[in-house]
Amino acid sequence: MKEKIKIILFVIVLGMVSGSILLGVNRYTESRILQNQQLKIKKAVLDVFEIPYTKENIETVFNQNVEIVKFDGVSFYISKEKAVAFEFSGSGLWGPIHGVIALNNDMNTLKGISIIHQEETPGLGGRSAEKDYLAQFKGKKFLPEIKIVPAGKSKGENEVDAITGATGTSKSFETLLNANIQKKLDLFKQRR
């Protein structure tokens, strides 16, 4: 009995000490982490619009070039050329994928894609976040849907190459891109 009480007490004390340390660290880093996240979204939006910026002037460049409109809590970023960008998210093979897509002002082709967060296998699925890979999405038709086909076989104007060795990620990426574009585009067209 005495032993059991000792164990319970020990666990409670350990939990409290560990918890309060982490609480402290969280309070200390929270605002910076949040700021980093917002900065990442702004960077991603500027990236897909291909607006040049430097580390120091992101905020001003963003405010000068991008207009934000919100429909039903979803932010749409509109550039001077009337290209529209929005965030997308969904599940990849191993974890959530989060990024920004931009559509050209013809509302028919992709302007670009930029990934903010992914947890795919480094070196394999993780490469879907690289600029070189994402560059091939530029100018592709997203209607009726984007198709990700085995590497080297993309021909159609809505087809892009998959990543060799990352079939699962490529499949999930295709599904989540199409679902997000469809949903957000409908919302945007309705309210615009």
Partner 1 sequence: MKLIEPKNFFAGIWKENPIFFLMLGLCPLLAVSSSLKDALGMGIAFIFVLTGANITVSLIRRFVPSHIRIPVFIVVIATFVTIADYSLAAYLPKLHRNLGVYLPLMVVNCIILGRAEAFASKNNILNSALDGLGMGLGFTLAIVIIAILRELPGQGTLFGIRTFGENYKPFLIMIMPPGAFFVIGFLIALKNSIGGRKRC
Q: Which range of residues in 46-54, 82-90, 122-130, 181-189 is near partner 1 by CB under 8 A?
A: 122-130
Q: Angle at the Cα of 21 (from 20 to 22), degrees rounded to 5?
A: 90
94 near partner 1 (CB under 8 A): yes
Total count of residues recorded for the chain? 192
21 binds partner 1 (CB under 8 A): yes
70 is a site residue for partner 1 (CB under 8 A)? no
Of 16, 64, 95, 131, the one binding partner 1 (CB under 8 A) is 95
Helix or strand (DSSP H, E) at 150: none
Which one of residues 1, 16, 38, 40 is an interface residue with partner 1 (CB under 8 A)? Answer: 40
Residue 14 or 179: the one with the smaller Cβ distance to partner 1 is 14
Q: Does 29 bind partner 1 (CB under 8 A)?
A: yes
Tokens, residue 111 = 């302007």
DSSP 191: H
Report the candidate in 150, 155, 152, 111 with the shortest Cα–Cα distance to residue 134.
Answer: 111
Which residue intervals of the chain are DSSP H helices?
Answer: 2-48, 58-65, 131-134, 167-191
Which backbone phi and psi does 183 adopt, to 5 degrees? -65, -50
3-state secondary structure at position 104: coil
The residue within the footprint of partner 1, chosen from 54, 56, 73, 122 (CB under 8 A), is 122
- Classified as helix, coil or strand, 88 is strand
Binding residue for partner 1, selected from 1, 33, 55, 70, defined by CB under 8 A: 33
Q: State the residues that interact with partner 1 by CB under 8 A.
A: 3, 6-7, 10-11, 14-15, 18, 21-22, 25-26, 29, 32-33, 36, 40, 94-95, 117-119, 121-124, 126, 165
